[in-house]
Amino acid sequence: MKNTTVLVTGGTGFVAIHTIAQLLQQGYTVKTTLRSPDKKGVVLQALEGTDTTGLSFHFADLTLDEGWQEATLGCDYVLHVASPFPAQDPEDENDLIIPARDGALRVLKAARDAGVKRVVLTSSFAAVGYSKNIAGHVFTEEDWTDVSAPLPAYIKSKTVAERAAWDFIQNQGNGMELSVINPVGIFGPVLGNISSASLDIAVTGIMKGTTSMSGNFTMGVVDVRDVADIHIKAMMHPDAAGERFLANSDGVMSFYDVAELIRKERPGLSGNIALMTPTPEEYYKQMSSKKAETVLGWKPRSREEAILASVDSVTKNVNL
């Protein structure tokens, strides 16, 4: 396994840092990309306690061609997990859609030219779950978001980027394999100071009281450790080539559900949590990760464990 080299893009990302840690612990040689050298310390701090002798840093930006050839050179696999998640939608949706699409294509082209065997692309449930609003519908990998519908730019960007990746593999891939992971809201333990947007809003925000309402929506929940694991499984499993995998634990939650879970399981931390009105039942989407569990042997943690791992990390790292 130590003769296998893996590139993980965007090393300061929440999924990326956990993926890097697991790869290093399993004996892989790991490359990761950063946009600037001053981010190296962030990664090394997050990996404290992990042997990083097998890790090297390369500097590349998804909006530029420079650096990607060197980053992919000598790699057996590429895990393209880097992608922007904006705090708010841009005025022009193309400001997000075009960089997401072109960044994915930039990585795929460099990987193909470097002779990489397989790329695992991190897409999102955003590319799956905004096509139907049918009572009782269970979303699976067969579903695709309808980009012609009026949707936030982030949701469109993930869908357009994934579609472009599959088109590239079919028409220009030259035999390189692609697998895609479509995770829901990602939670779990924080390494160093590297967090996720989902965690910041739905855990830290609730604990601080700044997220004070449970809107008319729910979110799937998955633990970041399981997201890293499913990427590595999809990288190595022969049956993962040409497939997409929905990554969700066991159901969905509203902000109200998260708040009530914290009150029940961590009552000492509930002082700032707002009293919320429950989200109506009609907004509880159904989704299935059966394919990942069956094909890859993936066994995710429960949504409660993922949320509480976030809570415990936030308690250590944030002044509430």
Residue 263 has pLDDT above 60, yes or no: yes
Residue 215 has pLDDT above 70, yes or no: yes
Residue 40 has pLDDT above 70, yes or no: yes
CATH number of the structural domain spanning residue 294: 3.40.50.720
Report yes or no on 266 lying in a domain: no
**pLDDT value at residue 84:** 64
**pLDDT value at residue 90:** 76
pLDDT digits (tens, 9 = 90+) for 55-108: 999 999 999 999 999 999 999 999 999 876 666 677 788 888 988 999 999 999
Average pLDDT over residues 267-296: 94
Report yes or no on 119 lying in a domain: yes
Averaged pLDDT score across all residues of the chain: 93
**pLDDT value at residue 220:** 96
What percent of the chain stands above pLDDT 90?
82
Report yes or no on 295 lying in a domain: yes
What percent of the chain stands above pLDDT 70?
97
Average pLDDT over residues 277-300: 95
Report yes or no on 135 lying in a domain: yes
**pLDDT value at residue 94:** 87
Domain that holds residue 227: 5-188+221-249+286-301
Average pLDDT over residues 144-169: 94
Report yes or no on 133 lying in a domain: yes
Domain count, the chain: 1
**pLDDT value at residue 246:** 98
Report yes or no on 198 lying in a domain: no
**pLDDT value at residue 22:** 98
Average pLDDT over residues 270-299: 94
Report yes or no on 80 lying in a domain: yes
**pLDDT value at residue 132:** 73
Which of the listed ranges 95-99, 149-153, 260-264 does the model predict with the highest average pLDDT? 260-264
Residue 320 has pLDDT above 60, yes or no: no
**pLDDT value at residue 173:** 96
Residue 235 has pLDDT above 80, yes or no: yes
Report yes or no on 179 lying in a domain: yes
Residue 318 has pLDDT above 90, yes or no: no
Residue 112 has pLDDT above 60, yes or no: yes
DSSP the chain: -TT-EEEES-TTSHHHHHHHHHHHHTT-EEEEEESSGGGHHHHHHHTTTS--TTEEEEE--TT-STTHHHHHTT-SEEEE------SS--SSTHHHHHHHHHHHHHHHHHHHHTT-SEEEEE--GGGTSSS---TT-EE-TT----TTS---HHHHHHHHHHHHHHHHHHHH-TT-EEEEEEE-EEESPPBTTB--HHHIIIIIHHHHTSS----S--EEEEEHHHHHHHHHHHHH-GGGTT-EEEE--SSEE-HHHHHHHHHHH-GGG-TTPPP-PPPPGGG--EE--HHHHHHH---PPPHHHHHHHHHHHHHHHS--
Residue 1 has pLDDT above 90, yes or no: no
